[in-house]
Structure 1
Amino acid sequence: MRELVYYAAVTLDGYIAGPNGEFDAFLIEGDHMEGINARFADTLPTVAATALGIPQKRELFDTVLMGWNTYQVGGVPSPYAHLRQIVFSRSRTAEGENLEVTSEDPIAVVRRLKTEEGAAIWLCGGGALAATLADEIDRLVLKRQPLLFGSGIPLFGERPYRPEQFDAVETVAYDSGVVFTELERRREG
């Protein structure tokens, strides 16, 4: 069965973007970029990977999920054209290569995707969508940035108090101050 992986950059105080969706303070240069480009090439926007000569083989991810606000940040119709892109919106539409906008329940979509053949499913964001899909997330890959935002869009939006355990798989610290932490959901029994 395919996994749902929430792969996101996050500040030390738990934000994936500023109050108005700002993300330009995140470090995009430094020794951590080599790790992203090597292992997580599928998470680079298609145009950027092409410009950098980085092959995207769809081996790690072949599908990306986004809320509307995350999708529209890039300002291009198909930011991850090399992947199947599913954008959740109740009121908006868009067209682009390998792009689907749906008002369908995200949980139902993820459960259906998990039964299909393929690579892992990347939950790109945002925080409200992550909160909705929290019970479906199998793995977290967090790029913890050496930044404080003070306020903004949290890694997980509003959800009821219910502690859930994840186990550490790997942690890699870079000289840039960025720390990659990979965790998997603890399965009881």
Structure 2
Amino acid sequence: MRKLVYYVAVTLDGRIAGPRGEFDFYPMGTPEQAAAYSAAMNERYPETIPTAARAALGLTDTPNRRFDTVLMGRGAYQPGLDEGMPSPYAHLKQYVISRSLGRAPSPDVTVVPGHPLRLVRDLKGQDGLDIWLCGGGKLAGTLLPEIDRLVIKSYPVVAGSGIPAFDTAFTPTHFAPEDRRTFDNGVTVTTYRSTP
């Protein structure tokens, strides 16, 4: 069965973005450290690179290794849309969960106005690779009962405020670490699996 995987960057205080959606404050280290980190992540998760950037990174012909579907909330989708990218991950099946977006700006994007839990359960029952939960915090909070894996890229920075990784009611949910790698730029990438 396909798994729902929340693959996301977070600060030390659990924020995925600043109060206005900022993410340019994440430290990448020296150019050499940043290049080594990016190369390792692109090798492991090439499908998480937006379609427009894949050619510049030599990923145009790289097959999807882990995901063939992406779920985004309106907040995660809007920055690409604002930059003229109505289909940011054209190499994936794209779903945007939003009550306010209305009609999809691209035929490659499916807007789902409600019931994301039902959507995820339906997608899990279909054949294919895993499903990438791209963000944001409200959507992750709603989908928490269906998240099978977390891939947390923890950056050595405290945001102080901003969008939390999970915006939901107090809901203790257990995960067990499976794999951890620390990079020279200070980023730690940990994979967790859900536990009963």
TM over 0.5: yes
Question: 1:152 pairs with 152, 159, 162, which one?
Answer: 162
Determine the C-alpha separation between the residues in 2 that align with 1:27 and 1:142. Answer: 15
The residue aligned with 2:128 is: 118
Residue 97 (structure 1) shift: 5.2
In structure 1, the partner of 2:90 is 81
Give me the TM-score of the superposition, normalised by structure 1. Answer: 0.94
SS of the residue corresponding to residue 64 of structure 2 reads coil
Is the 8 Å Cα contact of residues 4 and 120 (structure 1) preserved in structure 2? yes
Q: 2:74 maps to which residue?
A: 68
Structure 2 CA distance for partners of 1:56 and 1:105, relative to 1, 3 Å: farther
Structure 2 distance, partners of 1:144, 1:100, is: 30
Letter in 2 for 1:98: D
Match of 1:21 in 2: 21
> Is the 1:56–1:82 contact (alpha carbons within 8 Å) kept by the matching residues of 2?
no
1:98 positional shift? 2.4
Gap regions ≥5 residues in structure 1: none
1:163 Cα deviation from its structure 2 partner: 1.8
Residue 49 (structure 2) aligned to one of 19, 44, 49: 44
TM-score where L is the length of structure 2: 0.91
- SS of 2:53's equivalent? helix
How far the C-alpha of 1:27 sits from its partner, in A, is 3.9
- Count residues with an aligned counterpart: 186
Give the aligned partner of residue 8 of structure 2.
8
Q: Does 9-18 or 51-60 show the bigger shift?
A: 51-60
Tell me the C-alpha RMSD between the 2 structures.
1.3
Three-state SS of the structure 2 residue aligned to 1:52 is: coil
Deviations 1:1-33 (A, max 9, x none): 100000000001100000000011124561321
d(CA) in 1 for partners of 2:107, 2:154: 31
Match of 2:192 in 1: 183
The yes-or-no answer on 1:98 pairing with 2:108 is yes
Q: CA deviation at 1:96?
A: 2.1
SS at match of 2:78: helix
Asked if 2 retains the 8 angstrom alpha-carbon contact of 1:146 and 1:177, the reply is yes
Q: Which residue of 2 aligns with 1:34?
A: 39
- Read off the aligned partner of 2:195 and give its amino acid letter: R
Following TM superposition, where does structure 1 have runs of at least 4 consecutive aligned residues deviating by more than 4 angstroms? none
For 1:88 and 1:169, locate their aligned partners in 2 and report how far apart those are by CA, in whole Å.
Answer: 29
32-41 or 171-180, which moves further after superposition? 32-41
Deviations 1:80-120 (A, max 9, x none): 11000000111213322521111131000000000000000
